[in-house]
Amino acid sequence: MITPEEARRMLAELTEDCAVPAAPPGLSRYWFQRHGHVLIGDVAVRGYKYKNRWQLDDREIRKAAQRLAALVVDPADRVDALPSPSSSPGGYTWQSRIKAFMDEAAFRARASYGCPCAPEPCHQSQPNSEGLPCGLTWEVLERRGGDFTIAGTRPVPWLSWSGTRWTVPRAYAELLYRADEAEEHLQDEAAVCSGCGTKGDSWQWRTSSAAGFVTLCPACSSQASRPYAGHLAGALHASLTKKQQADVFLCCLCPAPRRALYWDHCHVHGFVRGPVCASCNTFEGGGWEFIRRQGALSHLLRCTGCHKARALPPRHHPDIVQESIVFRSHGSCTHRPRVCWGRAEGDGSVVFELSCSRHTKNGSDVRWRRVIPADRVAELVRVFVERNLPQ
């Protein structure tokens, strides 16, 4: 067994001189959440979790490298790289991913440099002279393409514009088709409950465990774990022992029974809130929009320190401020601005970026920032907590 870092180095060395060299992703736990594997070409490499660290079998890594090395590519024999207009929308295929990548790169380019169509209306549905969405150039696409991978390979260097369509070599396309088939098969397997064999929603049933990700339906989750009764209320997370494992309980945030993995706790005061699954733990840790979730405030106030102080951790302050005040637009505009993002600062203030779709500058929406002072933020948080405390 080898680490993800060792696996990336091995793939790079073994495929360095290949027609299609490997470009594996970060191989973090998020890559294994979908179905426990990562695709390198058309080979599915399984991830193994041991002592909370992910490992891979070096034999599978070598097999994936050998398959890539055996691929013979004729650059002149090419097929379409983008989905046809008649194809069903929403399909998660290698062609749809290339199109989505182009569209996102074009959106970011327009946001940074404006629309080159200005002052005329932008026809984003029509490709420009390079065959790319409005605002995007091949130079920008190539620069962004270094981080874009499909099945552990980089598709952008293989793209070619004929003047009417984007193409890739047929051999490379067939490799990606096989990878799509493998991906679909793995997702079907991951949607099956490991307890009773029922097939369901893998994103709702799949959860992290000490041995990796498992799929358990609500009924089997209820049998494997029990509801949390709040017996650790007021306990400090630092005082927990190894015997006090969270995975014997159900997640106290998920609406349907789902096995927990972590003891969620307040990083400001250190008190335990309750057992949560990996997904809810990540959602709370991100902060943005968590407070809008049903039961979120009650969960956060299980921290004795937050409850007593009528306060919440800073990462949730932007949501509370946004819920509590109405932002004024710029200048004499009467249109309510859109909140692009909010961020809590170290001094206790919160900064927001706002935009107005009624006014543009260089082809992009007008944007500006608004800072809410720390004392105003603290007051808004206190009022929000007191107003929503259970009677």
User: Among the listed ranges 135-139, 184-188, 272-276, which one has the minimum average pLDDT value?
Assistant: 135-139
Does an H or E element contain 100, and which?
Answer: helix 94-113
Higher pLDDT, 123 or 251: 251
Q: How many angstroms separate the Cα of 125 from the Cα of each of 106, 130, 133, 156? A: 11, 14, 7, 21
Higher pLDDT, 255 or 33: 255
- Per-residue pLDDT band for 320 (boundaries 50, 70, 90) equals very high
Give the CB-side neighbour count of residue 233, counting CA atoms within 13 A.
11
Neighbours of 375 (CB within 10 A): 10
pLDDT in tens, 70-115: 999 999 999 999 988 766 555 679 999 999 999 888 888 777 766 6
pLDDT in tens, 180-195: 999 999 999 999 998 8
The CA distance from 119 to 14, in Å, is 51
Whole-model pTM: value is: 0.74
What value does the mean pLDDT take over residues 350-360?
Answer: 85
The CA distance from 364 to 118, in Å, is 9
- Cα 259 to the chain's mean position, in Å? 21
User: Among the listed ranges 119-123, 329-333, 338-342, which one has the minimum average pLDDT value?
Assistant: 119-123
For residue 376, the model assigns a pLDDT of: 96
Place of tokens 């009467």: 334
**Reduced to 3 states, what is the DSSP secondary structure of residue 371?**
strand
